[in-house]
Amino acid sequence: MTTCAVEKCLDYGKLKNDLSATAREDFFESVVLKFDMLCIAVKCTRQCKACKVCHYALQQIQSLVKGRDSEKSMCPRLEGCVENCVRSEPGKAVQCVAARCNIHCYDGDCPSCRQLSKRMFSRVCKDLSLTRFPQVSYQGECPDLFQTMADDFVMKKKKRV
């Protein structure tokens, strides 16, 4: 699923160009905001259905789109936040989710979301050599960079609240 998602739902040229002008403190968010679950659900349907976490996310998205209550079980804060965005700001739901809800993928509420994001981030990191970007300059491996940047992202978001 990760391979399909990265190949069909990310524009590496644009991403690399965007990241070259991105400060370290905004780097992680700039990468993960490009992970588009709707694109993955549409362009990688077969692979998504074979992945328990992705399939669950797809079911939750379908419930929200159809106006049905989603089952809040795997990721209660993340799912509740997304549901609030869809209901309160339907025309701006994507922006609302990015601004208010993404933190819950990384703050411990949703380990499955964090794991899926880690796989995608690590693939992008390896393919684009993100550890070598001057503003990143990281000596470790991509999965470790993800852990560090995800934790920093959560701390930064919590300070804003």
How do residues 48-81 score in pLDDT, each as one tens digit?
Answer: 889 888 888 788 777 776 766 656 578 889 888 9
Percent of the chain at pLDDT > 90 equals: 52
For residues 36 and 3, the model is more confident at: 3
DSSP string, the chain: -HHHHHHHH--HHHHHHHHHT--HHHHHHHHHTT--HHHHHHHTHHHHHHSHHHHHHHHHHHHHHTTPPP---S-HHHHHHHHHHHHH-GGGHHHHIIIIITHHHHSSS-HHHHHHHHHHHHHHHHHHTGGGSTTT---S-HHHHHHHHHHHHHHHHHHH-
pLDDT over 90 at 142, yes or no: yes
Give the residue-averaged pLDDT of 3-16. Answer: 92
Give the pLDDT confidence score for residue 87 in this predicted structure: 85
Split at pLDDT 50, 70, 90, the class of 83 is confident
Question: Model pTM?
Answer: 0.87
Give the pLDDT confidence score for residue 148 in this predicted structure: 96
Give the pLDDT confidence score for residue 63 in this predicted structure: 77
Give the pLDDT confidence score for residue 72 in this predicted structure: 57
Give the pLDDT confidence score for residue 70 in this predicted structure: 58
- Report pLDDT digits (tens) over 84-133: 888 898 888 888 888 899 899 999 998 988 999 999 999 999 999 999 99
- The CB density around residue 92, as the number of other CB atoms within 10 Å, is 12
- Report pLDDT digits (tens) over 18-30: 999 999 999 999 9
